[in-house]
Structure 1
Amino acid sequence: MEKTLTIDGKQVTFKTTAATPLRYKAQFGHDFFADLTKLIPLSKINLKDVDEADTEQVQELFRLMDFDLFYNILWSMAKTADKSIPEPLEWLDQFEEFPLMDIFPQVQDLIMKNLQTTKKK
């Protein structure tokens, strides 16, 4: 499964396959699925309910977020789609803007495909 987004005027394709978790571990030295569990607390927060004027609420949101994790997951998915992309820092340096809060929700379904079971209930 793949999805192409426009980020900072550039077309970026994100893709997940069975190799994505292994690519993630080879690059970053962490288990993909274990790191995904770190995002569970964020799933309990409705970003639409976060009032930007409420400093305490925004600070709590940022405290729960591991930005490296977001960048690493996105790089792994982009690398799965396009083997020619450079190492993570070089790749991210290509973007003046990289709005995580806009990008990540659009690729969540790709991540969930790696977690779902085909077992019938």
Structure 2
Amino acid sequence: MEITLTIDDQSVKFKSSGAVPKRYKMQFGRDFFKDLIGMGIVNKDYSDLHENDQLEAIKQIDFDMFYDIAWTLAKTADEKIPDPMTWLDSFETFPIVDIVAELQDILAATISSKKN
């Protein structure tokens, strides 16, 4: 699965593939699935929550970890993406709250089964 988001007036591709967990582990030394599930953002519908409840739900997210996951998905889509700090520095703003919601489907696809 692949999506393109506009971040700080830049088109950024994010892609899920079988290599994502390995790329994440190689870069950050942590287990992708444990981190993803531990953050509790997959399949959580923030749009149905009232604004105060959205803020409370978002406070539970480990944003450092989410930046790492976002970088891994971007790197999977584009091998030319530089290291995480250089990549993040290329954005004047990186609206993580908006990006969490946008990346939920692609993150859910990484842990779901196609088995019937």
Task: Classify the TM-score, shorter chain.
Answer: 0.7 to 0.9
Structure 1 residues 43 and 102: CA distance shift in structure 2, 3 A: same
Given that 1:42 and 1:64 are in contact with CA atoms closer than 8 Å, whether structure 2 keeps it comes out as: no
Q: Normalising to structure 1: TM-score of the pair?
A: 0.83
1:73 pairs with 2:69: yes
Gaps of at least 5 residues in structure 2 are none
Structure 1 residues 6 and 25: CA distance shift in structure 2, 3 A: same
Given that 2:2 and 2:77 are in contact with CA atoms closer than 8 Å, whether structure 1 keeps it comes out as: yes
Give the match for residue 115 of structure 1: 111
Amino acid of the structure 1 residue aligned with 2:105: D
Given that 1:16 and 1:80 are in contact with CA atoms closer than 8 Å, whether structure 2 keeps it comes out as: yes
Would you say how many aligned residue pairs link Structure 1 and Structure 2? Answer: 115
Partner Cα distance (2:102, 2:113) in 1? 21
- SS of the residue 2:64 aligns to: helix
- SS of the residue 1:51 aligns to: helix
Once the two structures are superposed, residues 14-42 of structure 1 have per-residue CA deviations (whole angstroms, 9 ceiling, x without a partner) of: 00100011100100000000001212278
Gaps of at least 5 residues in structure 1 are none
1:106 pairs with 2:102: yes
Partner Cα distance (1:13, 1:34) in 2? 24
Amino acid of the structure 2 residue aligned with 1:79: K
**Higher Cα Rg, which structure:** 1
Q: Normalising to structure 2: TM-score of the pair?
A: 0.87
Identical columns (%): 46
